[in-house]
């Protein structure tokens, strides 16, 4: 099969199109014929070597954290899916590699593709929609009457988080540039703050939850807008001790991570709020809930650009520029 292989870590390192053996699904796995794959900032960070200590992939390997396609083989013990099913997934860490013609994925990471959207639209959803779900529903328990601040509302996670927060009944504020303002309003944002010309910390207060995804200074100011008992969840770090324990890191790494997040945790505690770091995980059951929301029209995919599979490196370079509104996807020419 054709696949894009990262042969060495390095900032902006190009991947090589290579011929690899077609994966064989193991017990509990399904083999997916890839029709489309999402491209994420996480792919860029792994390529650049930013996560070598936490996700020690050994080059050469295939990147890609979103997939939509069709099941073509099933492994022993698979009961939820059959050959021919149209599915999508965020393959779990250690099983990534959707920038290829085929990928074997644990069936517990997989859900049926929403019937009312294309493969390209489906491939845009798993990582970002699951991230938003785990912040807002699983951890934040967002409910009617809650106030939620979502940073970078026109980005891949932001466009999903706005819609899921509104579905939960929240009042949503978001930061965005002028080019993304109309988009985030169309998704339901109640308050749109231009991050270039306005200070969100002087406009907002009494927020129940903040979804942060940017720099440390923005995270620190985000804590200031929370109500007592509120929660700031960061996708960009610093990681916290709970994350280190969940990953099973050794005592040295746990100590390092504890120090990295000490300042923001102390500030949060002093203000009577909580700070948490989220590194999203694969979850086919939660993705099934996302499918229901898409099929009922509660949320919709937001695509910025679709690249042909041959232009995977160009797609990553486009993501690196940080200007995408919604998600970037690569598509493979498939019949049927």
Specify the pLDDT at position 257.
Answer: 84
At 53 the pLDDT is 77
Sign of the torsion formed by the C-alpha atoms of 315, 237, 163 and 65: positive
CA dihedral 244, 249, 254, 256 (to 10 degrees): -100
Residues 144 and 272 in one domain: yes
Q: Please give the Cα distance from 210 to 214 (Å, whole number).
A: 12
> Are 229 and 263 part of one and the same domain?
yes
pLDDT beyond 70 at 336: no
Is residue 231 in some structural domain?
yes
Confidence of residue 242 (pLDDT cuts 50, 70, 90): confident
83 with 202, same domain: the answer is no
Q: What is the count of structural domains for the chain?
A: 2
Sorted by sequence, the CB contacts under 8 Å of residue 134 that are 6+ apart come out as 278, 280, 281, 283, 286
Same domain for 119 and 149, yes or no, is: no
**How does DSSP assign 285-298, residue by residue?**
HHHHHHHHHHHTTS
Q: CATH code at 147? A: 3.40.50.720
Residues 241, 133 share a domain: yes
Decide if 208 is inside a domain. yes
Q: Token match 């699951």: residue? A: 130
Sequence-separated contacts (24+) of 176-183 with Cβ below 8 Å: 176/152, 179/154, 179/323, 179/325, 180/153, 180/154, 180/325, 183/154, 183/159, 183/302, 183/325, 183/326
Strand pairing report for 2-6 and 16-19 = antiparallel
What CATH number corresponds to the domain at position 98? Answer: 3.90.180.10
How large is the average pLDDT for residues 57-75? 97
Q: What is the pLDDT of residue 245?
A: 83
Q: In the prediction, which pLDDT does 51 show?
A: 86
235 in the same domain as 191: yes
Convert the pLDDT of each residue in 202-218 to its tens digit: 999 999 999 999 899 99
Does 70 lie in the same domain as 30?
yes
How do residues 145-165 score in pLDDT, each as one tens digit? 999 999 999 999 999 999 999
Strand order in the sheet with 16-19: 16-19, 2-6, 61-62
Does one domain contain both 107 and 135? no
Structure tokens at 324: 């995408």
pLDDT tens, position by position, 78-108? 999 999 999 999 999 999 999 999 999 999 9
Residue 288 clears pLDDT 60, i.e. is over it:
yes
How far apart CA 331 and CA 67 sit, in angstroms, is 10
246 confidence band (pLDDT: 50, 70, 90): confident
Give the residue numbers spanning the domain of 34: 2-125+301-331
Residue 36 belongs to some domain of the structure: yes
For residue 14, tell me if it sits in a domain: yes
**Shared-domain flag, residues 234 and 273:** yes
Using 50, 70 and 90 to split pLDDT, how confident is the model at 244?
confident
The pLDDT score that the predictor gives to residue 56 is 83
Residue 259 within any structural domain of the chain: yes
Average pLDDT score over residue span 253-275: 92
Output the pTM of the full model.
0.96
Residue 247 has pLDDT above 80, yes or no: no
**Between residues 53 and 304, the one the model is more confident about:** 304
**Angstrom distance (rounded) from CA 270 to CA 92:** 36
Q: Is residue 296 part of a domain?
A: no
* 297-326 residue pLDDT tens: 999 999 999 999 999 999 999 999 988 999
> Would 287 be classed as within a structural domain?
no
For residues 223-246, give the mean pLDDT: 92
- Predicted pLDDT of residue 79: 94
Q: Do 138 and 232 share a structural domain?
A: yes
3-state secondary structure of 191: strand
284 occurs within a structural domain: no
pLDDT of amino acid 233 = 97
335 has pLDDT over 80: no
**What span, in angstroms and rounded, lies between the C-alpha atoms of 176 and 155?**
9
């Amino acid at each position: 099969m054709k696949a894009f292989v990262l042969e060495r870590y390095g900032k902006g390192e190009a991947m090589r199109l290579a011929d690899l053996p077609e994966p064989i699904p193991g017990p509990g796995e399904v083999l997916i014929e890839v029709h489309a794959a999402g491209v994420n900032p996480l792919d860029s960070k792994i390529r650049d070597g930013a996560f070598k200590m936490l996700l020690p992939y050994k080059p050469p390997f295939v990147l890609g954290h979103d997939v939509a396609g069709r099941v073509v083989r099933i492994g022993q013990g698979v009961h939820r899916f059959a050959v021919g099913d149209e599915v999508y997934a965020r393959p779990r860490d250690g099983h990534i590699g959707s920038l290829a013609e085929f990928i074997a994925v644990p069936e517990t990471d997989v859900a049926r593709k929403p019937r009312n959207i294309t493969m390209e639209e489906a491939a845009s959803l798993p990582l970002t929609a699951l991230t938003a779900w785990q912040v807002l529903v699983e951890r934040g328990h967002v409910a009617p009457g809650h106030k939620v601040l979502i940073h970078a509302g026109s980005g891949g996670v932001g466009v999903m988080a706005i819609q899921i927060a509104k579905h939960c009944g929240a009042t949503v504020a978001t930061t965005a540039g002028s080019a993304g303002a109309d988009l985030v309003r169309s998704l339901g944002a109640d308050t749109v703050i231009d991050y270039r010309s306005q200070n969100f910390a002087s406009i907002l207060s009494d927020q129940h939850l903040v979804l942060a995804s940017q720099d440390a200074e923005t995270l620190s100011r985000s804590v200031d807008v929370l109500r007592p008992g509120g929660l700031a969840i960061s996708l960009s770090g610093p990681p916290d001790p709970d994350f280190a324990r969940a990953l099973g890191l050794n005592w040295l790494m746990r100590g390092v991570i504890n120090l990295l997040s000490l300042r923001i945790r102390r500030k949060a505690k002093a203000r009577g709020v909580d700070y948490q770091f989220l590194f999203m995980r694969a979850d086919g059951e939660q993705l099934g809930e996302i499918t229901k929301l898409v099929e009922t029209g509660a949320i919709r995919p937001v695509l910025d650009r679709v690249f042909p599979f041959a232009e995977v490196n160009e797609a990553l370079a486009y993501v690196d520029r940080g200007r995408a509104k919604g998600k970037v996807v690569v598509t493979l020419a498939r019949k049927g």
